[in-house]
Amino acid sequence: MQQLMTLLEKNIGLFILFAIALGLFDLIVVTIINSKYTKLKKQYKRVMKELETGDILDILSKDIMKNEEFNEKLDKFRKELSFIDNEMKTSIKKVGIVRYNAFNDVGSDLSFSIALLDSNDNGVVISGIYGRNETATFAKPIMKAQSNYPLSAEEIQAIDKARKGQ
């Protein structure tokens, strides 16, 4: 017993500091618990008041109606998104262009072939042939990167560039 008293006398400062720290920790824990209790008590009182006045059924039915409206809007947006997604699949996404000199007697690369394709490689290839005395423009439909019409080397090159994203 004497040894315990001696230990306490020698380390009284540490024991007091430990007791203060423990007290502060307890105070913080009690404050947090009290805060949560107060919040929960307010919610409980509100629910009980609504139960007494019968308003809780109105609140629940309004929430259910809002949820149904939200689900209807969500379904509408999903349908619109699906429509837009389908439209995007058939829009022009790939473009390839080739400029070239169609005739030896004409300077510069004034002739061109441009391929405009969707994500399924469907679209059109347009070629403009520039000559010294005349200019001609052709359009050929493209289905799966092929055409029912004969394609020139430049048109094939434009389609390849479009498919490769060049």
- In the 3-class helix/strand/coil scheme, how is 21-55 assigned residue by residue? HHHHHHHHHHHHHHHHHHHHHHHHHHHHHHHHHCH
From 14-23, 64-73, 117-126, the region with the lowest mean pLDDT = 14-23
CA of residue 48 relative to chain centroid, distance: 42
| Rounded Cα distance, 98 and 157, in Å | 7
Q: Which residues lie below 8 Å from residue 88, measured CB to CB, with a gap of 6+?
A: 119
Looking at the domain assignment, is residue 15 inside a domain? no
State whether 81 and 43 are in the same domain: yes
Determine, yes or no, domain membership for 121: yes
Query: pLDDT tens digit string along 63-81?
Result: 889 999 999 999 999 999 9
Question: Could you tell me the residue range of the domain that residue 114 belongs to?
Answer: 94-164
- What's the pLDDT at 54? 64
118 lies in the same domain as 67: no
Say if residue 63 is in the same domain as residue 118.
Answer: no
Here the tokens at position 26 are 């307890």
Which of the 8 DSSP states describes residue 131? -
Is 17 within a domain? no
Residue 129 pLDDT? 93
Extract the tokens encoding 87: 């439209």
Going by pLDDT thresholds of 50, 70 and 90, the confidence category of residue 45 is confident
CA distance 22 to 17: 9
Which of 59, 87, 115 is where one domain is finished?
Answer: 87
Q: Distance between terminal CA atoms of the chain?
A: 92
Query: How would residue 49 be classed by pLDDT, with cut points 50, 70 and 90?
Result: confident
Least confidently predicted of 66-70, 90-94, 103-107: 103-107
